[in-house]
Amino acid sequence: MTTRRAFLRRGGDAALLLAAAGVVSACGKGGEAPASATVGGTITMMNYPDWMGKDEVAKFRAAFPGTDVKQVSGLTSGAAQALTQIRQNSKSYDMTLAGGATAGQIQAAGLTAKFDPAQVPLLSGIPEFYRKSFPHGVPVDIGKVGFGYRKDLIDERPRSWADLWQLAATHPGKVTVLKYADDVISIALLLTGQPAGADDEKSLAKAVDALRELKGNIRAFLPTDFSKDLITGDAVAAVSYDYDIATAQSKNADIVWVAPTEGMPGYVDGWLPLADSENLATVYAFMNHHLTPEVYGDFINTTGSAYLLPSAEPFINDSIKNNASLRLDTGNASAVQFADYNGPEGARRRADAFERVIGV
């Protein structure tokens, strides 16, 4: 008897073979060389640390003997670091992960190869909403910035960014905020009634004022371990990513996720092929492999992020599938404003605005 899981696995394998065939023919040398000669060798991917399925690379090596994926850590300090790292290693990097805004800038800077969706047949399994939100490559996960609070430590039941500002004032030194310039500026813009992506001086000045007020009351801007203090109770609320709060909830059941009523900054992460790669066939094969339901399920279970591929649901842990903080209703996604790249001047003004907050 064929179970749904086995059926999906077999379907995934078949899709993988189809993808390999597609890659071979797309290279124009399909008739001249066998698939193994086209898809092979080691590709290098810039990635968040540990942002990969536990067995994902091993399974790719098994599916395509002679291939390997070397991951290099990056993308932890924003677009400037990411672009510089790619440019300095353009001859050796084949692909990268990037959020929408960073991906847009990498593309505008001419560092990406033109993405050909036809080379990734399994891409069709990703709903159109996400494909449109990330046109630069293969969308792999989404996230949004909200906050979590400890219902056992405070009487308030915050629902908005304004409530969070109030909470920080009434519980000084007990609220933490992630330290990622663009997201922090975005939440302050939403608080002050402006679009999360605004980059004009007037809007940013209001955001800076709001953040300076918040800074006086918070415990810390945290570059890592955003929810650690929330779990221990040293903080009563933490501004963080949905996947991070979801993980924190699994460690402390008293943590409540809040999707603020003013809206949330969001991002779609995706994989991009890079311009100077000499092994795009393997890059595309790996992208397609990633979208195999079982492999994608492994990726989501490892990272704990929100998933985009409905066919992978049988392989995704219930704790992730049933977590309210990770859900996004694509039919009513206006509450989440996805980051996009609006040009160098705007990005600079936003970076300068955050510096005016933390530098005083």
Partner 1 sequence: MTQGLRRPADRWRRLLLVPSLTFTTLFFIAPLTLLVALSFGTVDLLSYRTYLGWHPSNYLRALDPLYLQSILRSLAMSLSSTLACLIIGFPVALTLSRLSGKRQRVLLAAVIVPLWTGFVVRTYAVVEMLADHGPLADVLGVLGLAPDGLSLLHTPAAVVIGMVYAYLPLMVLPLFVALERIDPSQLLAASDLGAGPWSRLRRVEIPLAAPGILAGCLLVSIPMLGEYVVPTVLGGGKTLMYGNVIAYQFQEVGDYPLGSALAVMMTTLVTVGLVVGRQVSARAGRTS
Q: Does 348 sit near partner 1 (CB under 8 A)?
A: yes
Q: Does 108 sit near partner 1 (CB under 8 A)?
A: yes
Which parts of 286-305 interact with partner 1 (CB under 8 A)? none
How many residues touch partner 1 (CB under 8 A)?
38
Which parts of 256-285 interact with partner 1 (CB under 8 A)? none
Output 221 or 267, the one with its CB closest to partner 1. Answer: 221
Q: Which stretch binds partner 1 (CB under 8 A): 101-109, 241-249, 279-287, 331-339?
A: 101-109
Name which position in 27, 83, 230, 256 contacts partner 1 (CB under 8 A).
83
Q: Does 110 sit near partner 1 (CB under 8 A)?
A: yes
Q: Does 356 sit near partner 1 (CB under 8 A)?
A: yes
Output 21 or 80, the one with its CB closest to partner 1. Answer: 80
Name which position in 96, 105, 203, 227 contacts partner 1 (CB under 8 A).
105
Q: Does 179 sit near partner 1 (CB under 8 A)?
A: yes
Q: Which stretch binds partner 1 (CB under 8 A): 28-36, 143-151, 270-278, 346-354?
A: 346-354
Angle between helices 293-303 and 280-290 (to 10 degrees): 80
Name which position in 9, 59, 61, 87 contacts partner 1 (CB under 8 A).
87
Q: Which stretch binds partner 1 (CB under 8 A): 15-23, 65-73, 82-90, 293-301?
A: 82-90
Q: Does 93 sit near partner 1 (CB under 8 A)?
A: no
Residue type, 343: G
Q: How far is the CB of 271 from partner 1 (least distance, A)?
A: 21
3-state secondary structure the chain: CCCHHHHHHHHHHHHHHHHHHHHHHHCCCCCCCCHHHHCCEEEEEEECCCCCCCCHHHHHHHHCCCEEEEEEECCCCCHHHHHHHHHHCCCCCCEEEECHHHHHHHHHCCCECCCCHHHCHHHHHCCHHHHHHCCCCEEEEEEEEEEEEECCCCCCCCCCHHHHHHHHHHCCCCEEEECCHHHHHHHHHHHCCCCCCCCCHHHHHHHHHHHHHHHCCCCEEECCCCCHHHHHCCCCEEEEEHHHHHHHHHHCCCEEEECCCCCEEEEEEEEEEECCCCCHHHHHHHHHHHCCHHHHHHHHHHHCCECCCHHHHHHCCHHHHCCHHHCCCHHHHHHEEECCCCCHHHHHHHHHHHHHHHCC
Separation CA 55–CA 57 (nearest Å): 6
Q: Does 315 sit near partner 1 (CB under 8 A)?
A: no
Residue type, 15: A
Q: Does 170 sit near partner 1 (CB under 8 A)?
A: no
Q: Does 200 sit near partner 1 (CB under 8 A)?
A: no
Output 49 or 193, the one with its CB closest to partner 1. Answer: 49
Q: How far is the CB of 358 from partner 1 (least distance, A)?
A: 6
Name which position in 98, 218, 245, 285 contacts partner 1 (CB under 8 A).
218
Which residues of the shown chain bind partner 1 in the complex (CB under 8 A)? 77-81, 83-84, 87, 105, 108-111, 173, 179, 181, 215, 218-223, 232, 234, 343-345, 347-348, 351-352, 354-356, 358-360
